[in-house]
Amino acid sequence: LPYCGPNEVAYSFCDMLVLLKLACSDTSAQEMVGFISVGLMPLSCFFLILTSYSCIVYSILKIRSAE
């Protein structure tokens, strides 16, 4: 990203949002990539795990008892 002037980050951990605020160009594509990697990917993993556990519980409940 092109940065304007002598911009400095005040702390050692460079957060992506802070770096995007310092940029002079359009950062909408980088913001979308950040949203997808931080927001949608963990959410899809959560739903995959939830679906898996639901199938396991459903399979256990389908098993008939020995009686």
Domain ranges of the chain: 26-66
Q: How many CB atoms lie within 10 A of CB 46?
A: 10
Cα 24 from Cα 1, distance rounded (Å): 8
Cα 40 from Cα 30, distance rounded (Å): 15
The confidence score (pLDDT) of residue 13 equals 67
Q: Which helix (H) or strand (E) holds 46?
A: helix 41-62
- The structure's pTM equals 0.53
pLDDT in tens, 5-26: 776 666 656 677 777 777 788 8
